[in-house]
Amino acid sequence: MSAVLTSQSRAKAEASALARAANDGLPDRANAHLDWLESEAIHILREVVAETRNPALLFSGGKDSIVLLRLAERAFRPDRFPFPLLHIDTGHNFPEVIAFRDARAAELGETLIVRSVQASIDAGRVVLRRPAESRNVHQTVTLLDAIQEHGFDALFGGARRDEEKARAKERILSHRDEFGQWDPKHQRPELWDLYNARLHPGEHFRAFPISNWTELDVWQYIAREKLAVPSIYFAHAREVVERHGLLVPVTPLTPPRAGEAVVRRSVRFRTVGDITCTCPVASTAATLDAILEETLATRLTERGATRMDDQTSDASMELRKKEGYF
């Protein structure tokens, strides 16, 4: 791949270089914390690529993995990414997000591997108790099968420690045993920025370059980098029912229950996971600035406001992660 920039991107790059040169190479204080987070993430991406044999990057089309892709560009361009993109598709994803996923991978010219929970169901690897049940938890089987199929020894993910209390305990480079399981009580100590990437055969790592980012950081970075995101992150009118304090979207997979009133509301999604367990929030935020304002003002956590699967018990995420979930 040629390192020579096109004339258009060169002009843009030069303008940007001039703006930075005026700053004498020192980080811009107004953006100091995003610069720091960005550089830490680039460092992690390069370290893991250098020290593992066959990594992949989990790309769902959601905002966190969109940020990961930009960080990978910053870490590796003008080279192609030294890893493929991988998505575990539950088959219950929002079509806007899947379309975005495919378009973004094509735009970057990178390889996208998709493995589907439906295929795991067809092959008898996953057995559903109810046809319409959430496939969120079943992703683990498909994910671990995909890791084995391709021999991946490291998976980059967009998980953040601020999302959830079990994730707050997770290492940046997190070890998985040969069963894909996480042992939170016996994690390797992680000192300074010195990541221990040694593995025995069959084991792998999950690597989280944006561990230290918050939801607000992610949106500020998306705004700063002018990154496109799927349309459902912005306010739109949608049919929903109110259930247990959540706004449940009305879809063929999640029809209203008997006695529930369907209402049309202005909503947006804060996370874009499996349709059967992801709820939008009431919102009129139609621009990035409005989303930033809303994120600053919100009184509910990202998952608390939107995820049915995390509310089962105090330890839902910890249990899923131990089994090999993202």
Partner 1 sequence: MGATLDTLRFTTAGSVDDGKSTLIGRLLYDAKSIFEDQLASIERTSTKRGGERVDLSLLTDGLTAEREQGITIDVAYRYFTSAKRRFIIADTPGHEQYTRNMVTGASTADLTVVLVDAAKGLQTQSRRHAIIASLLGIPHVVLAVNKMDAVGYSQSVFEAIRAEFTAFCRDLDIAELDFIPVSALEGDMVVERGENLGWYRGPTLLELLENSKAAEAAAGEFRFPVQRVALAKFGPQADTRGYQGRIESGRVAVGDRIAVLPSGHKARVQGIVTLDGALDAAAAPQSVTLLLDTQLDISRGDLFAHAGELPTVTHRLVANLAWMAREPLDVANGKPQRYLIKHTTQSVRALVEAIDFRLDVNTLARDTGVTTFQLNDIGRVRLKTQKPLAVDSYRANRATGSFILIDEATHQTVAAGMIQAEGENPNG
Min dist. Cβ of residue 61 to partner 1 (A): 21
**Binding window for partner 1 (CB under 8 A); candidates: 27-35, 107-115, 134-142, 148-156:** 27-35
Is 193 a binding residue for partner 1 by CB under 8 A? The answer is yes
Dihedral (C-alpha) 6, 8, 9, 15: value to the nearest 10 degrees?
140
Q: Is the CB of residue 63 less than 8 Å from the CB of residue 233?
A: yes
Is 169 a binding residue for partner 1 by CB under 8 A? The answer is yes
89 or 217: CB nearest partner 1: 217
74 or 265: CB nearest partner 1: 74
**In Å, what is the CA distance from 75 to each residue of 39, 43, 50?**
9, 8, 12
Q: Is the CB of residue 223 less than 8 Å from the CB of residue 289?
A: yes
Min dist. Cβ of residue 118 to partner 1 (A): 32
Cα(16)–Cα(33) distance, integer angstroms: 19
Residues 290-309 that bind partner 1 (CB under 8 A): 292-293, 298-301, 304-305
Structure tokens at 149: 């199929």
Min dist. Cβ of residue 324 to partner 1 (A): 17
Give the CA angle between residues 73, 231, 121 to the nearest 5°.
85
**Binding window for partner 1 (CB under 8 A); candidates: 100-108, 215-223, 263-271, 275-283:** 215-223
Q: Which residues pair with 264 in a beta bridge?
A: 239
What is the DSSP-derived secondary structure letter of residue 81? Answer: P
Give the residue, chosen from 118, 181, 212, 251, that forms a contact with partner 1 under the rule CB under 8 A: 212
Min dist. Cβ of residue 55 to partner 1 (A): 13
Q: Spell out the residues 6+ positions from residue 30 whose beta carbon is closer than 8 angstroms to its own.
A: none
Residues 257-286 that bind partner 1 (CB under 8 A): none
Min dist. Cβ of residue 182 to partner 1 (A): 11
Is 255 a binding residue for partner 1 by CB under 8 A? The answer is no
Neighbouring C-beta atoms of residue 215, cutoff 10 Å: 19
Is 201 a binding residue for partner 1 by CB under 8 A? The answer is no
